[in-house]
Amino acid sequence: MTEFVHLHLHTEYSLLDGAIHIDELVEQAAGLGMKALAVTDHGNMFGAVVFHDAARAKGIKPIAGCEIYVAPGSRFDKAGSGIEEAYNHMTLLASDEAGYHNLVKLVSSGYTEGFYHRPRIDKDLLAKHSQGLIGLSGCLSGEIATHLRNGQEAAALASVGVFSEIFGPERFYLEVMDHGIEDQRRVNQGLFRLHDRTGLPLVATNDAHYLKQDDHQAHDVLVCIGSGKKVHDADRLRFDTNEFYVKSGAEMASVFPDHPAALANTVRIAEMCEFSLKQAGSLPAFDVPPGFTIESYFEKVSRDGFAERCKVLEPLAAAGRLGHSIAEYAERLDKEIGVIRRVGFAGYFLIVWDFIRHAREKGIPVGPGRGSAAGSLVAYSLRITDIDPIEHGLIFERFLNEERISPPDIDIDFCEARRGEVIEYVTKRYGRD
């Protein structure tokens, strides 16, 4: 069996372009016996954590990557160029922790500093944050491939020199791919010549955008949605063949029968990549009054807060203006307190309750709450939210579910002008880390 590692692959996080669900991806990769796998979504790393955890669960080494957009000049230059001239593509892979953090920095800067049609970086920024990164020259829209398509081999050689200097000759690869497109085959011939002239290694990729070959038509519809076109429109973006899927090692060997080293280099690169995301650290300690545990104090303040809410709820119930009885509220509160204590998030609620309480005491406006946290009566009792979840038929299990335990996600809005005061309070009380 030919060993091969996919190093250029787009998931559903390449919005309206990639059509690969991560759970199905790792399932298929495991079935194909793949030991490692990279995800390189367009301009973002939104799926990095989900992919990392899903791959690890299947015994597959996850490789964090991104197909970035590189401005031809400065990332700050946003005048005059059409979308075709505004950027080139390039594939980046993180080989270690420094590389991962540099990749995050580059992607973030693409949005905050270089966004023009797409989130772009430039070569100056890339050079500053190249430690721990492996660079691949990219697809047909890469800078080197574009020069070769235009018959400018001297310009392609110059670009090779620049990128080789940025990454180092051992960490920059000439990326070859073949989906049965004539332009690719012509560019590959140029890349083979550049390989012969420079000694830089080749690496084979398949630019996967969908999982299986039969998914080609569904992906074509997705591309039409993303570009605002119809399937039958003649002048639209399209993938010319049905070869952009997650191929097996044997299939890739049949694509590049004369270049086994380009296939072997995928494994070599995977071996160079040794990075694992660390589990989130534990919560800072919440100091409870003498005689209480975290759990018992959480329950006390929750019930005290509910008693305060009842000063408004009980008159409404007596007047027949409340859709549910106070007993129903009390039963829901008991259930939520029990769940929160059992899953170990009492301290989390106390910390959020504490800094929101501080904001209110200082007269800093706090939003009424949004998202799934609005479904919690405990959050309502603690004034973390100001929306009655029972009256509005909101479901607690959408927020916190014992069958799928993950840290609760509470969206909080503070006054923009004074939110820095809240951050300062949290920093002083719980530590800068």
Q: Which of 107, 6, 31 is nearest to 66 (CA)?
A: 107
* Mean pLDDT in residue range 235-259: 93
Residue of 306, 281, 284 whose CA lies nearest to 294:
284
83, pLDDT greater than 80: no
**Prediction pTM value:** 0.69
| pLDDT class of 343 with cuts at 50, 70, 90 | confident
Q: What are the structure tokens assigned to 217, written together? A: 């038509």
Q: Please tell me the predicted confidence (pLDDT) of residue 264.
A: 97
Q: Mind spelling out the 3-state secondary structure of the chain?
A: CCCCCCCCECCCCCCCCCCCCHHHHHHHHHHCCCCEEEECCECCCCCHHHHHHHHHHCCCEEEEEEEEEECCCCCCCCCCCCCCCCCEEEEEEECCHHHHHHHHHHHHHHHHCCCECECEECHHHHHHCCCCEEEECCCCCEHHHHHHHCCCHHHHHHHHHHHHHHHCCCCEEEEECCCCCHHHHHHHHHHHHHHHHHCCCEEECCCECECCHHHHHHHHHHHHHHHCCCCCCCCCCCCCCCCCECCCHHHHHHHCCCCHHHHHHHHHHHHHCCCCCCCCCCCCCCCCCCCCCHHHHHHHHHHHHHHHHHHHHHHHHHCCCCCCCHHHHHHHHHHHHHHHHHHCCHHHHHHHHHHHHHHHHCCCCECCCEHHHHHCHHHHHCCCCCCCCCCCCCCHHHCCCCCCCCCCCCECCECCCCHHHHHHHHHHHHCCC
Tell me whether residue 170 is exposed, middle or buried, using C-beta atoms within 10 angstroms of its C-beta: 0 to 12, 13 to 18, 19 or more: exposed
Is pLDDT above 90 for 235?
no
Q: What is the pLDDT of residue 81?
A: 67
Predicted local distance difference test score (pLDDT) of residue 82? 74
Question: Among residues 371, 377, 374, 380, which one has the least CA distance to residue 337?
Answer: 377
pLDDT number for residue 405: 65
The predicted structure's pLDDT at residue 250: 96
The total of other beta-carbon atoms located within 10 Å of residue 34's CB is: 22
pLDDT in tens, 41-67: 999 999 999 999 999 999 999 999 999
Say which residue, 286 or 83, is predicted with more confidence: 286
pLDDT of residue 365: 93
Asked if pLDDT for residue 280 goes beyond 70, the answer is: no
* pLDDT (0 to 100) of residue 279: 67
Q: Is the pLDDT of residue 281 over 70?
A: no
Is the torsion defined by CA of 39, 42, 45, 51 positive or negative? negative
Proportion of the chain above pLDDT 90, given as a percent: 81
Mean pLDDT of all residues belonging to the chain: 93
Task: Report d(CA 4, CA 266) in Å as an integer.
Answer: 6
Can you tell me the mean pLDDT for 87-106? Answer: 96
- pLDDT-derived band of residue 357, with 50, 70 and 90 as boundaries? very high
Query: What distance in Å separates the CA atoms of residue 63 and residue 57, rounded to the nearest whole number?
Result: 14
pLDDT of residue 398 exceeding 90, the answer is: no
pLDDT at position 432 over 80 = no
Confidence of residue 187 (pLDDT cuts 50, 70, 90): very high
In the chain, the largest separation of any two C-alpha atoms, in whole Å, equals 88
- 119-166 pLDDT tens trace: 999 999 999 999 999 999 999 999 999 999 999 999 999 999 999 999
Residue with tokens 């070869």: 243
Model confidence at 282: pLDDT above 80: no
Q: What b/e string do you get for 102-132 counting C-beta neighbours within 10 Å, with b at 16 or more?
A: bbbebbebbeeebebebbbbbbebbeebbeb
